[in-house]
Structure 1
Amino acid sequence: MNKQELVDAVAAKTGASKAAAGEAIDAFIGAVTAAVTKGDTVQLIGFGSFSTGARAARVGRNPATGAEIQIAAAKTVKFTAGKAFKDAVNGA
Structure 2
Amino acid sequence: MNKPMTKTQLVATLSEEMGTDKKTASAALEAIAAVVTREVAAGGAVTLPGIGKVACRARPERQVRNPATGETLTKAADRAVKVTIAKALKDAVA
TM over 0.5: yes
Of residues 62, 71, 75, the one that matches 2:79 is: 75
Runs (4+) off by over 4 Å: none
Map of 1:59 onto structure 2: 63
* Equivalent pair of 2:43/2:57 in contact (CA under 8 Å): no
Per-residue deviation, residues 49-80 of structure 1 (Å, max 9, x unmatched): 11111222222233333333322221111111
Q: Distance in 1 between matches of 2:48 and 2:66?
A: 40
Q: Distance in 1 between matches of 2:87 and 2:67?
A: 40
Equivalent residues in 2 for 1:1-92 (5 A)? 1-90=5-94
Q: Distance in 1 between matches of 2:83 and 2:46?
A: 10
Q: Distance in 2 between matches of 1:14 and 1:86?
A: 24
Aligned CA RMSD, in angstroms, stands at 1.7
The number of equivalent residue pairs is 90
5+ residue gaps, structure 2, are none
Q: Distance in 2 between matches of 1:50 and 1:25?
A: 16
State the secondary structure of the residue aligned to 1:32.
Answer: helix
Aligned-pair identity in percent equals 41
Q: Which amino acid aligns with 1:76?
A: A
